[in-house]
Amino acid sequence: MSDTYLNLVNSGFTKKVAQQLGLPRPAQLRRFRPGQPLVDGPVLVLGSGTEAESLAHLLSGTGLDDGGAVRGWDLDVRRTPAADERYAAVVLVLTDVQHPDDLAGPVLTAGGVLKGLAPGARVVTLSRPATADDGPALAAARQGVDGVLRSLAKELRGGATANGVVVADGVPVDAPSALGALRFFLSTRSAFVDGQLLTVGSDAGTLPADWDQPLAGRVAVVTGAARGIGASIAATLARDGATVVAVDVPAAGEQLAAVANSVRGTALQLDVTGPDAGQKILDHATARHGRLDIVVHNAGITRDKLLANMTPEKWDPVLAVNVDAPLRINEALVESGDFTDAPRIVALASTSGIAGNRGQTNYAASKGGVIGMVRATAPLLTAFGGTANAVAPGFIETEMTARIPALTRQVARRLNSLQQGGQPIDVAETVAFLASPQAGGIMGQTLRVCGQNMVGQ
């Protein structure tokens, strides 16, 4: 659905009027198009120590690693700021901070260039997690990075975003998933991901030989694929090289067939709540395509009602579709012995499952359940090089949100740092990243696609 206000304040005469009146002017976000550069302008890499230096060298260099994957990204990297430079990205390598006082130098240096950032710029931090085993000063410094990042994201304008990669102790900053996450956050694929910290827990995963086709040779199942976010996920996975099995209920058969044909995949009409849904998905994928590598649990429903008026007829179906079905499907896949080649499970959660939402206790229970599900499922897949993660959308422009009353819809759009709703492609890009080989060290995480809600996390 189109955001009329956003379009008006960014075009012609109404743009000038909005400027004169001081009205909020959300930026028109730059989203990914094949063939565009990763970063369109110079990249400032800040931080001291060998990790900052090696990362700067990798971002600026060219060449192949031993496996034939491109190691250098051939970016225009700068190590010291210039007053007259307009940076497309700033990377703060903060993995060596030991005390809160260590934050001042690199953070304030970054602050000095923020006013000159290019539209749609990216700020990315790399840090280590604060744990109970850290000394108090070290834990304070590391946790301080989180506060800096989340606050900075709320200060940026012009469609710029700030996100962080948290690299576990013992994992190098040039591990495949650390680089994969950095690249995702630097790119326009992450246009509506803002103020988020993503943990890389291991050095698992591989860098693709072709960053434009990281899913080549992989077979992916997408449930709820007939329209909206599901259709966008199917198209994005196919764009990235995957063969897609589009799944939806028989009633959506015509739309489902259209989606499957558009991505040159196959359609499977199926009620995911059926007790044998997992086996049917596996049988279809292996019979038609010889394998199954990726499962995206996108199918979901809402039955909103205040808890005081909630009934089993409104509670039970939401839990059945949104979390019970993925649980059974995952169990069938894990037990089959045929889902073992670096498999990926990506499930759709929601910010409602994190922060709650009035009238959605059933939906929030199901989506909070999804977050718990992937956290507990991830360890079951590590022996096979697999992962399970979740994507939590905020306000996304879909048929469902188009039915929200107009005033409520406008308020919902503006209550994030980017002051607008996301698009289905924003969710799809994040799903595609988590399904990719370079995300193999990201396990049991939930990445929000919400433009950074202004209140709460």
Exposure string of 114-129, with b = 16+ CB inside 10 Å and e = fewer, is: beebbebbbbbbbbbb
Cross-strand partners of 64: 70
**Residues 223, 299: contact at Cβ < 8 Å?**
yes
- Cα–Cα distances (Å) from 167 to 194, 209, 349, 361, in that order, read 18, 23, 23, 34
Query: Quick check: helix, strand or coil at residue 163?
Result: strand
Q: How many CB atoms lie within 10 A of CB 390?
A: 28
Q: Which helix (H) or strand (E) holds 231?
A: helix 228-239
Q: Is the dihedral of CA 14, 195, 423, 75 positive or negative?
A: positive
* Two structure tokens written together for 224: 């709820």
Quick one: CA torsion of 104, 108, 110, 115, rounded to 10 degrees? 160
Q: Are 79 and 87 in contact (CB under 8 A)?
A: no
Say which residue the tokens 């929000």 belong to.
448
Q: Which of 5, 363, 395, 433 is catalytic?
A: 363
The amino acid at 135 = G
Annotate 175-191 with b (16+ C-beta within 10 A) or e (fewer).
bbbbbbbbbbbbbbbbb
363 belongs to the catalytic site = yes
Helix intervals (H) in 81-135: 104-111
The tokens describing 254, both together, are: 């015509």
User: Directed axis angle between helix 361-381 and helix 325-336, to 10°?
Assistant: 10
Assigned token pair, 143: 């946790």
Distance of CA 171 to the CA centre of its chain: 21
Which class for 277: exposed (0-12), middle (13-18), buried (19 or more C-beta within 10 A)?
buried
Backbone angles phi, psi at 115, to 5 degrees: -65, -20
User: What is the C-alpha separation between 403 and 133, in angstroms, rounded?
Assistant: 49
Name residues whose C-beta falls within 8 Å of residue 444's C-beta, 6 or more positions apart in sequence: 201, 374, 375, 376, 377, 378, 379, 387, 388, 389
Residue 269: strand, helix, or coil: strand
Tell me which residue of 276, 190, 278, 265 sits closest to 225, measured CA to CA: 265
Contact between residue 74 and residue 62 where contact means Cβ atoms under 8 Å apart? yes
Residues known to be catalytic: 363
